[in-house]
Amino acid sequence: MEATIEVTGLRKRFGPALALDGMTFTVAPGQVTGFVGPNGAGKSTTMRIILGLDAADAGTATVGGRPYASLRHPLSQVGSLLDAGALQPSRSARNHLLWLAHSQGLGARRADEVIEQAGLRSAARRKAGGYSLGMRQRLGIAAALLGDPPVLMFDEPFNGMDPEGIVWMRGFLRSLAAEGRAVLVSSHLMSELQDTADHLVVIGRGRVIADASVAALIAAASADRVTVRTPARDEAMTVLARAGAEPAATARDVITVSGLTPERVVKLLSDNSVPFAELSAHRASLEEAYMELTRDAVEFRAEVTP
């Protein structure tokens, strides 16, 4: 069975709150899949259900085709980092990795390897309780890598990282995917994933809103807009409207056109001898695409929704 995460129709209710409402998606190997959504959208709950920590009310979550609870050496099939603070402060980082290694039938040498990989060698024998959040994230990454698994899952790994750490993390995630692993990374900030993820699963209110490649998502969100600066504003608007566009006057000598490519706008204006001083095409950022998608799904807005 291919090493993937498959989530099908997950539903989970916490008291009156519906946390997951038919969550369905697949994580493919060889790429970084961003798992994004506003706070409270259900990212962590989904991940906990994938790891068998929480039980779903309905639906299934499998790793490599099997439910997590049936895995015998789970850490060699899925590496995960849910909460970097989930450790005992009085135990050293190395000993934390050591008991994890022992639980998987691995030895101390493997623990030392992942310490090296996560860049923790100099701090490995210090108590984990004294670590900064960024260092704990690295320790959590080391734990996730312990079993050298084909599937990796990180919940908000950029939290608490300094800029240098963020750069390291991006490169690291990409290199993991480049080795052919399936990498699922959650974040509530799209900007963190902008240059990292190949594929995005955007969720809101417990369900998937969009499941597409980054390129497709941007293209869908930024129905191209072209801004034209022209002394002959009314003339230009007439020409463009005749061509089926929806020009709008945004300043005394500026119009914004949507529904036409920049090349088409240039050709129409030239053919009709309409002078223009400047023409600029505008592309939506991933961030804007995301805002657009999740506008209705944000749980915690200023106004209280019943």
109 burial level (CB within 10 Å; 0-12, 13-18, 19+): exposed
Q: What angle do CA 103, 158, 186 make, to 5 degrees?
A: 75
Residues 201-220 that bind other proteins (CB under 8 A): 213
* Beta strand extents in 176-224 (DSSP E only): 182-187, 199-204, 207-213
Residues 237-296 that bind other proteins (CB under 8 A): none
Amino acid at 69: A
For other proteins, the closer of residues 85 and 231 by Cβ is 85
Residues 220 and 289 sit within 8 Å (Cβ to Cβ):
yes
Which tokens sit at 282?
């505008």
Question: Among 42, 150, 157, 204, which residue sits at the site for other proteins (rule: CB under 8 A)?
Answer: 150
Counting contacts by CB under 8 A, is residue 29 touching other proteins?
A: yes
Counting contacts by CB under 8 A, is residue 175 touching other proteins?
A: no
Residues 190 and 37 sit within 8 Å (Cβ to Cβ):
no
Counting contacts by CB under 8 A, is residue 198 touching other proteins?
A: yes
Question: Among 17, 39, 85, 263, which residue sits at the site for other proteins (rule: CB under 8 A)?
Answer: 85
Counting contacts by CB under 8 A, is residue 75 touching other proteins?
A: yes
For other proteins, the closer of residues 35 and 276 by Cβ is 35
Which tokens sit at 228?
């034209």
Counting contacts by CB under 8 A, is residue 147 touching other proteins?
A: yes
Question: Among 8, 24, 62, 95, which residue sits at the site for other proteins (rule: CB under 8 A)?
Answer: 95
Question: Among 9, 22, 52, 262, which residue sits at the site for other proteins (rule: CB under 8 A)?
Answer: 52
Per-residue HEC secondary structure of 14-79 comes to: ECCEEEEEEEEEEECCCCEEEEECCCCCCHHHHHHHHCCCCCCCEEEEEECCECHHHCCCHHHCEE
**CA 300 – CA 297 distance, rounded (Å):** 9
Counting contacts by CB under 8 A, is residue 91 touching other proteins?
A: yes
Shortest distance, CB of residue 147 to other proteins, whole angstroms?
Answer: 7
Residue of 15, 17, 6, 65 whose CA lies nearest to 305: 17
What are the residues facing 79 on neighbouring strands? 152
Shortest distance, CB of residue 301 to other proteins, whole angstroms?
Answer: 28
Stretch that binds other proteins, among 67-75, 117-125, 220-228, 231-239 (CB under 8 A): 67-75
Which tokens sit at 13?
């209710």
For other proteins, the closer of residues 152 and 161 by Cβ is 152
**CA 145 – CA 154 distance, rounded (Å):** 11
**CA 6 – CA 170 distance, rounded (Å):** 24
Question: Among 6, 21, 148, 288, which residue sits at the site for other proteins (rule: CB under 8 A)?
Answer: 148
For other proteins, the closer of residues 181 and 207 by Cβ is 181
**CA 278 – CA 206 distance, rounded (Å):** 45
Question: Among 58, 86, 133, 281, which residue sits at the site for other proteins (rule: CB under 8 A)?
Answer: 86
Question: Among 110, 138, 170, 207, which residue sits at the site for other proteins (rule: CB under 8 A)?
Answer: 110
Counting contacts by CB under 8 A, is residue 130 touching other proteins?
A: no
Question: Among 24, 62, 104, 117, which residue sits at the site for other proteins (rule: CB under 8 A)?
Answer: 104
Please give the size of the binding site for other proteins, defined by CB under 8 A.
54
Catalog residues that contact other proteins under the rule CB under 8 A: 2-3, 28-31, 48, 51-55, 68-76, 80, 82-83, 85-92, 95, 98-100, 102-106, 110, 143, 147-150, 179-182, 198-199, 213
